[in-house]
Structure 1
Amino acid sequence: MAQPDEPQPTAVPSCPLPTKICDVLRSDRPRSCCGMAMAGFRTAKYQVPEWHRRNAGVYYKAFAASEEAERGRAESQHLMKHAAASAQRAQEYSKSTLGQRLQDIHFWRVELQKEIMELDAETNLLAAQKLRLERALDATEVPYSVVIDNLECRERRQPPDLVIDEVERQLLKEADLIRDIRDLLKRTIIQATTQIRSNRIQKENCELDWSDKVETYHIDDKCVGYCTDSTNVQFHPSSVKFEENASTPKSWAQFSHDNISSAEQEKLASVQLRSLINSIIHDASEDLRMQRAAVNEAFDNRCRELDDAKFRLEQHLQQILKDIADEEANIVNLKKAIRDKEAHLKVAHTRLFDRSFRPNIELCRDEPQFRLISEVEELTVFLEALKRKLMESEQNLKNLEETRMKLEKEIAVKANSIFIDRQKCMSYRVCYPVDLEVASYKQ
């Protein structure tokens, strides 16, 4: 709306007007009543219509300023209400998202706690099975000592009865069986120990994750309780940014999911190992019982067969001596190969150990980790194979030495052989415990 023009005073050409109203007001009062003297003073005055127009202009400006101020106040009120409502909605939405986040954290915290308790219970069960293995291993000492005693007693037979007969083979088979069982029990104990360690490591990972989530839950729960009336809120401009190392919701959930999945795998492996331990103890007990019966039968048969020839033993003496030399050389080579593989294994273990100190989510199952674990497994397999081969070679060497000693001895008389087999060996086998499954539960 156009504003009316400012009223202008009328000017008389005969006399110049003053430049400003103040000049007119400051002009001196007329000293003379002469018409010529008053003419210039009168021309500076406004006319009545001009005075009304000027007042109308002032009224209009005042009205426009009042309208503008009122409009500004209305806009300010609207902006304040809109800002308050928007801020309240934003705060409620943030509170809602924090509440949903608390539910997510609580869900994973409960799942992790459940997994920790189950893994701890499974570890205790596996530790009990490991104790059974140790008791079963201790229970094999008596049968092994009986077998070794039988072999040693039969070593005292006199020519020509000192032969590797069926009894000898069954005893050696029994000794090998007991050694194999002991080796199997020892390996299974090591496997159980490793599994228990893996269970505890995975439990520790879950506990760390659980602990972080408990702390995060308390932080977010405290954040939910903040409001505009809280006395402990303040400005933190530097916190309005995303951390470079912050995880995404997907990676956050995947991290806990991976921990739980790994714990489930370890728990499943532990359950399978416990089942395997039961089978091993049961099968070992059954194998020992059957072999004991076979040895006793061989003893009965051998007591009725005491004829053999000394020359057959002497024919094998040279070959035995050669085999002993070859076996000793083989043992030396095997020991050197084991030392070489152990050096490689130390390097791999050291790498794995140093990498285990990577912090937080940096503890990644990356390709080098899998490669190092694969390398350790390969080296372990080779070392176990070499050690088993070394044990076999040493046992073979021992057997060869025993055979050489037997070949160099004179064979005792048949009566002495019967005495050794029946009185010395079979009577001692009465104390032979065969039920490892029962022995594994004894204190």
Structure 2
Amino acid sequence: MELVKSTQGFRPNTRPDIILPTLTATPTRDKKGDNPQTHCLLPLPPKPSTTSCMGRDRFRLRSPRTPALRPAMPMHSAITPQQWAWANAANYKRSDNNHRSADILRKDTSRLICSKDDFTNKTQNESNKWISERIDDLSFWSSEGKHESEKLLKDTDMLKKVKIRLDHAISETEGPLQVARECLGQRQKRMGADRVRDEVEIELMQEVTVIKACQEQLQTMRDRVNKQLESNRIVQLILEKDLNDKHVAFEIDTRCHKMTNCNSTLQSYNNLSNLDMCFSVPQSWAKFSEDNIVRSQTERVNTKKVMEEAEREMANTTTNMWNQFYIVNRAFNNRIAETTEARNCLQYHMAKTLQEIFQTEHTIADLERTINNKKIPLQVAKNRLEERTKRPNMELCKDPPHNMLLREVQHIQGTMSTLSQRLAEAEDMQQQLAATKSLLEQELFVKAHSLFIDQERCMGLRRTFPSHPRLVGYA
């Protein structure tokens, strides 16, 4: 006998009073209302009166009767009609709940998508705005830094020119110093009484002291200029590094500002900890650039002060050297005038001495001639006395002729003695005049030598004293 399977009138072989729950996923919202979640819902027990979804007449569900004890027999249905109706109602209700939840989820999701799109666009626009403002800030500080760097570079170039002038001024002081020392050395070659510590020597030593002091002042100022140049170089490097960094940041922010959602070169970066590495905040970033500019301005002010001090120092040293140069030259001129006057006086006395010597020689010659001329009258008188001694007897009388001859002899002898004494005095005077002549000749040589040293050598060397522009550093 062929068995025919039929599903008509099939009922599950379960207890009639038990309805198996069917789990359905009903979307609900979390506390924030954005993320839907699913919960398992169990069918609720039916109310006493319900309506059918199939257009049937209303009916009231009766409480199920307790089946009577019957003998065991095959059961063809597992649930009652009421339970079947309850199950269908629960399924309908669960379906309606799912439809409402799905509609709510769909509408909320649509609103969420729109709000998130709006928020994303807004944040992107805000980012573009901030990047644009950042680019403006970079442009502003770059412009300020570049302007300040150019000013600092200009002032540094001017300070370098001042340093070159200081080097020239220091080198120009070597010539006057050597001239002053050479003049002192030349004047040590003076002879005799002219080797006096006169005003010229004192002023020459003072000139050496002044020039050395000027050299020390100029060298000290040059050291200050070198120190200021080093400070300017450090600040210049800081400004250039800051400008270079800002240029790189400007290019990067410009590229970021030009990025759009349509770029094909976008990459994915998931690790935000590596992307959020920052070394400064806007306040410290702006303060860093401002501090660099303020430091540059301070160094520029110091540069101008150093340049002004260097100008004053060069002008003061030049004035001091030229004043001492005039004082030494005036002392030289006075000394040359005094030496020339002394030489002229010596020449005058030399001329008078020569004249006196000439006249003394004539006097000596006259005395010698006169003495020689007195010898013959003396011999005549003596011969007369001798002859008269030969008179005989009473004729040998001391008569007036005899007395007169005796007086004549005495007179001539006294005259010759006086003339001889005067001749000796004249010869002594001649020797004194000769010694004076020799002394005057020596003094004239000394004065001529001193004049040659002071007038020719020293003043000749001092004609090469550098001019005022050269002493302040100009070539």
TM exceeding 0.5: yes
How far apart are the structure 2 equivalents of 1:86 and 1:433?
82
Quick check: 1:199 aligned with 2:240? no
**1:250-296, Cα deviation, whole Å (9 max, x unpaired):** 22222222211111111111112222222222222222222111111
Instruction: Name the residue aligned to 2:46.
Output: 5
Distance 1:46 1:260, change over 3 A: same
What's the secondary structure of 1:227's corresponding residue? coil
Alpha-carbon distance between aligned partners in 1 of 2:71 and 2:167, rounded to the nearest angstrom: 130
TM-score computed with the length of structure 2 as normaliser: 0.59
Question: How far apart, CA to CA, are the structure 2 residues paired with 1:208 and 1:117?
Answer: 14
Contact 2:173–2:471 at 8 Å: present in 1 too? no
What amino acid maps onto 1:12 in structure 2? Answer: P
* Post-superposition offset of 1:421: 1.9
Distance (Å, rounded) in 2 between the aligned partners of 1:145 and 1:15: 151
2:185 partner letter = E
Q: Which secondary structure does the structure 2 equivalent of 1:431 belong to?
A: coil
- C-alpha distance in structure 1 between counterparts of 2:132 and 2:95, whole Å: 54
Please state how far the C-alpha of 1:207 moved relative to its aligned partner. 0.5
For 2:99, the aligned partner's letter is: S
Q: Which residues of 2 match residues 37-436 of structure 1 at below 5 A?
A: 41=76, 46-47=80-81, 54-240=87-273, 246-303=279-336, 413-436=446-469
| Whole-angstrom CA distance in 2 between matches of 1:144 and 1:193 | 25
Please say which of residues 167-176 and 424-433 is displaced more in the overlay: 424-433
Q: Contact (CA 8 Å) 1:9, 1:44: kept in 2 or not?
A: no
Q: How far apart in 2 are the matches of 1:212 and 1:303? A: 73
Between the aligned partners of 1:422 and 1:153, the Cα distance in structure 2 is 11
Deviation at residue 242 of structure 1 after TM alignment: 8.0
Answer whether contact 2:314 2:471 (CA < 8 A) is retained. Answer: no
Structure 1 counterpart SS, 2:332: helix
Amino acid at match of 1:83: K
- 3-state secondary structure, aligned to 1:237: coil
Q: How many Å apart are 1:229 and its aligned residue? A: 2.6
Which letter does structure 2 place at the counterpart of 1:246? F
**Deviation of residue 441 (structure 1)?**
2.6
Matched residue SS, 1:163: coil
Higher alpha-carbon deviation: 88-97 or 202-211: 88-97
Say if 2:172 and 2:470, in contact at 8 Å, map to a contact too.
no
Offset of residue 54 of structure 1: 4.9
Q: Could you tell me which residue of structure 2 aligns to residue 15 of structure 1? A: 70
CA distance in structure 2 between the aligned counterparts of 1:432 and 1:416, rounded to whole angstroms: 24
Distance in structure 2 (CA, Å) of the matches to 1:46 and 1:416: 161
Greater per-residue helix proportion: 1
TM-score, reference length from structure 1: 0.63
Give the Cα separation in 1 of the matches to 2:79 and 2:210. 138
- Do the aligned partners of residues 165 and 239 (structure 1) sit closer, same or farther apart at CA in structure 2, a change above 3 Å counting? farther
Alignment-mate amino acid for residue 144 of structure 1: L
Deviation digits for residues 2-49 of structure 1, max 9, x if unmatched?
Answer: 9552978655313389xxxxxxxxxxxxxxxxxxx89x65x76744x7
- What percentage of residue pairs aligned between the two structures are identical? 28
Using a 3 Å threshold, how does the CA distance of structure 1 residues 156 and 130 change in structure 2: closer, same or farther?
same
Structure 2: state its 5+ residue gaps: 1-42, 48-60, 340-444
Deviates more, 1:89-98 or 1:53-62: 53-62
Equivalent residue pairs, number: 315
Asked if the contact 1:112/1:210 (under 8 Å) is kept, the reply is yes
Q: Post-superposition shift, 1:301? A: 2.7
Unaligned segments of structure 1, at least 5 residues: 18-36, 307-411
Contact kept in structure 2, 1:285 and 1:437, CA below 8 Å: no
Provide the aligned C-alpha RMSD in A. Answer: 3.1
Q: Which residue of 2 aligns with 1:382?
A: none
- 2: CA distance between counterparts of 1:217 and 1:63? 60
Q: Deviations over 1:362-384 (max 9, x none)?
A: xxxxxxxxxxxxxxxxxxxxxxx
- Larger CA deviation: 128-137 vs 167-176: 128-137
- Asked whether the equivalents of residues 144 and 175 of structure 1 are also in contact (C-alpha less than 8 Å), the reply is yes
Q: Is the 8 A contact 1:147 1:175 kept in 2?
A: yes
**CA separation of 1:302 and 1:438: change in aligned 2, threshold 3 A:** closer
Question: 2 CA distance for matches of 1:16 and 1:416?
Answer: 174
AA matched with 2:291: D
Give the Cα separation in 2 of the matches to 1:269 and 1:206: 17
Looking at structure 2, the residues matched to 114 and 203 of structure 1 have their Cα atoms a distance apart, in angstroms, of 12
Shift of the alpha carbon at 1:206?
A: 0.7
CA contact (8 A) 1:154 1:420 kept: yes
Structure 1 residues 61 and 265, CA gap change in structure 2 (3 angstroms): same
Letter in 1 for 2:46: D
